[in-house]
Amino acid sequence: MVKIVFFDVKPYDKKFLEPLVAELKEPVEVSYLDSKLNKDTVELAKDADIISLFVHDKVEKEMFDKLKCTMIACRSAGFDYVDLTECAARKIKVATVPSYSPSSIAEFAVGLSINLARNLRMAFERSKNADLSLTSKLLGFEMKGKTVGVFGTGRIGKLVCEIFRGFKMNVIAFDVYEDKEWAAQNQVEYVKTKDEVYARSDIISLHAPLTKENMHMIDSKAIEKMKNGVLIVNTGRGGLIDTKALIDGIKSRKIGGAALDVYEKENLSFDHDWFSVEEGIMPDEDLSVLLGFPNVLVTAHQAYFTQEALKEIANVTISNIAEYLQKAKEQPDRGFSLKNAPRV
């Protein structure tokens, strides 16, 4: 019997996964674990034939000798938490969920932009303290007529551009692969360099993949080229932003505000309730600093978190597992490819 272990599973995940697992044609023994997979918990996966992971799990090279699995089913579009080189060497098949409700993330990104433009965090905190007065600190700006720069025009980035156009904003975009037909239909202007996005944008929204070229694409040099008071929204990958440079930019008021649903060191602090943990101290000083700024919004990687997205993640994950089981039966040497294998 095939053993499948799902890591980092919350009750809301299990609700969507369990009925679909029951429909698999192959007999399986399934475990749903709240624990995240890492070098300290790898023993929990030692007997699994298939492991399913989420974004806060980590499979590093030194862990593979303790694994017998022949497939890793990622429940995310990203796969940077899995050592693909080692997987290939050991013929471990990897599958991802390339797209799950892009609208969920796109709508969230635009919502964060509006929050920053109208200082809603500060307004909410003041009203909680019964301060219903107006102050210049709450003075915002209209989206209409402003320029938004979008990095990455995949499924999510395109939807973001289209929503911003609905606000009658000027939308510019940078992507190595330009979809010129789509851009013409939606009045989106592709620009040739990142620097042009930095220089022209009132709001910058990040939807690019985390490649070597894009690592810390928002750094001190990039920030210097931006407009004074620029707003930065990141629902893409945490490593796109150099956190130290972002903090410096906010302190100098070069950056007017930032909204982060992802964070480069989120494995340290995300997915924890630090407020209710007894004697718990957040281990990340930079994140503590960011949370203290009134013009910064930090959300816990929740842009995807809708009923529609969770349903799609479960559907595609179990479909990936079913495809693997069928092909592995037909080709035991695993000389096949999976439809949703990572694209690198």
pLDDT at 237: 92
pLDDT at 80: 84
| Residue 312 pLDDT exceeds 60 | yes
Residue whose C-alpha is closest to residue 150's, from 194, 212, 101 = 194
pLDDT at 275: 67
Q: How far apart are CA 248 and CA 212, in angstroms?
A: 23
pLDDT at 100: 82
What is the value of pTM for the model shown?
0.88
- Residues whose CB falls within 8 Å of the CB of residue 135, separated by 6 or more in sequence, listed in order: none
Q: Which ranges constitute the DSSP H helices of 240-306? A: 243-251, 266-269, 285-292
Q: Which two tokens stand for residue 182?
A: 């789509």
| Residue 83 pLDDT exceeds 80 | yes
Q: How far apart are CA 150 and CA 157, in angstroms?
A: 7
CB of 42 within 8 A of CB of 13? no
| Residue 31 pLDDT exceeds 70 | yes
Q: Which ranges constitute the DSSP H helices of the chain? A: 11-21, 84-89, 102-117, 120-128, 155-166, 180-186, 194-200, 220-224, 243-251, 266-269, 285-292, 307-330
Catalytic residues: 237, 266, 301
DSSP type of residue 202: S
Confidence of residue 266 (pLDDT cuts 50, 70, 90): confident
CB of 184 within 8 A of CB of 239? no
pLDDT at 280: 66
